[in-house]
Amino acid sequence: MLVMVVLLLDTLGIGVILPVLPRLVAGFVHGDLAAGSRWYGLLSSTYSVMQFGFAPMLGALSDRFGRRPVILGSLAGAAMNYLLTAFAPTIGFLFIGRVLAGVSGASFSAATAYIADVTPPEKRAQNFGLVGAAFGLGFIVGPALGGLLGAIDLRAPFLFAAVLNGANFAYGLFVLPESLSRDLRCPVTFANANPIGALAGLRRHPILLGLSGTILCGYLAQSILQSVWALHTQARFGWTTLGVGLSLTAVGVVSATVQGALVRPVVGRLGERQTIIVGLCFSVVGFVGFAAASHAWMMYAILVPFALGGLAGPATQAILTREVGASEQGQLQGTLVSVMSATSIVGPLLATRLFARFSPATAVPYVPGAAFLAAAALNLLGLALALRLFARMRRATSDNHSAGR
C-alpha cells in the first residue's frame, strides 16, 4: 500500500535523530548533563503538547480537504523542522523545530484515516498491523543509521532526515492518490478541530466511548515503558548505552514480526474482540515479567509475550474505524493521536517519579520494577473495561435478537 511507504519513511526520519538529539541539546549547555536533561525534557514535552493540540485539527482538515494535502503539508513541515534543527545556532531554534515537529507529527491521524478509507472493514486489523510493522522497522533501522551518521557529525542525521522527508514529500506528490472522495467530506468546526471537543465527541459513539478507557490505559502503559526502560536496565543490570540500544532493536524486531505476521491469522481465528482480550493479557504478563526480572537475559525472554500484547492495537483500531463514517475517520484518528500525546506528557512524569521513589537500593520498600507494575495495573484496568464493554455489547445483541422474534 502506497501510504505504508510514506509512514515507513516518516518513521525512519524520526528514528534517525533519536540517538543524537540529547547530545545535540547537551552541546548547547556546554556538556552539562543535568542542564541538558532538563532542556531535553522540555523539548520532548513541547513536541507532545503541540501534537496533542494539532492532531484533531489535522484530522478534521483531512475530513474536509482530503488526506493527501494534509499528509503532504505535514511532510513539508517535517523537512523544514529537520533543516532548522541541523543548522540551529541556539537552543531556542531547537524549540521552534520541536513546535514544527509536533504539528507535522500530528499527520499520523491523516495517514491512518487514509488506511481506513482504502481498506475494507474486514481487513483493517491486518493493515493496521502492517502500520505497526512499518513503525517497528523504522525504529530498528533509523536509530542504527542515526548512530553511524552521528559518529561522523552530530548534525548529519538531521540533514539526512530532512532529505528523507523531502523525498517522501516528492513520492507523495507524484505517486500518492487522494483516498477521500469529495462527496464524503464534511466541514471543519471548532468542536471537532480541538482536542477537548474531539474527546467530547466520543460520546456520540457508545463503543468508541466504551473503548476510550482501554485505549488511554494502553497508551499510558506504553509511555511508562519508554520512559524508564533505559533507566531501569542501566540501574538494575548495569547495561551500557550500547546494551540499551541493542535491547530496543530487539523490541523493534519482535514487535514488527508480531504486527506484520501474526495480526491477520490471529484476528481471523479469534475475532477482533477476543484478540483485544488476548493481547491485553499478554501485555499484563509482559510488564509483570519486566518488573520481576532479576537477570538481564530475562528481559529478552519476556520480550516475546510482551510483543504479543501488540495484537490488541490493530484489532482495536479495526473496531473503532467501523463505528464512524468515512467523513469522520480523520477526526477519529486525530482524537486517538491527541490521547496518545496526552499520555506522552503524563507518562514520563509518573514513570520517573515511581523509579526515583522505589528503585534506589535505600528505598523502603525496595521495588525496582515499580513503574512496570504500574503499567501492568493500567493494562489490567484496560482489560476490565474492555470485558465490561464487550459483555454489554453481547447483552444488547441478545436483546435485539429477542425483540426481533
Lowest mean pLDDT among 143-157, 275-289, 309-323: 143-157
The rounded distance, in Å, linking the Cα atoms of 25 and 54 is 25
**pLDDT value at 332 more than 80:** no
**Residue % of the chain over a pLDDT of 90:** 18
Q: What is the mean pLDDT of residues 290-305?
A: 94
Q: How many angstroms separate the CA atoms of 279 and 216, rounded?
A: 15
Q: What is the pLDDT of residue 193?
A: 64
CA distance 137 to 126: 17
User: What confidence tens digit (pLDDT) does each residue in 39-77 have?
Assistant: 766 777 787 788 877 877 887 888 888 888 988 888 888
Instruction: Please give the mean pLDDT across all residues of the chain.
Output: 82
- Please name which of 312, 288, 310, 304 lies closest in space to residue 383, comparing C-alpha atoms: 312
Quick check: 332 and 204 in contact, CB under 8 A? no
Q: Where are the alpha helices (DSSP H) in 124-205?
A: 124-152, 156-175, 195-200
pLDDT at 301 over 90: yes
Grid coordinates standing for 142? 533509523
Mean pLDDT, residues 210-214 = 85
Q: What number of other Cβ atoms are within 10 A of residue 326's Cβ?
A: 18
Q: Please report, for the chain, how many H helices and E strands are present, in that order.
A: 17, 0
Question: What pLDDT is attached to residue 374?
Answer: 95
Domains of the chain: 1-176 (1.20.1250.20), 204-397 (1.20.1250.20)
Which amino acid, one-letter code, is at 94? Answer: L
pLDDT, tens digit, 9 for 90 and up, residues 224-259: 887 788 778 878 888 876 677 778 778 888 888 888
pTM: 0.74
pLDDT of residue 356: 82
Contact predicate 5/12, CB 8 Å:
no
Cα 207 → chain centroid = 22
CA dist., res. 342 & res. 196, Å (int): 11
* 142-155 pLDDT tens trace: 777 887 888 888 88
pLDDT grade for 299, boundaries at 50, 70 and 90: very high
Nearest CA to 41 out of 119, 95, 3, 82 is that of: 95
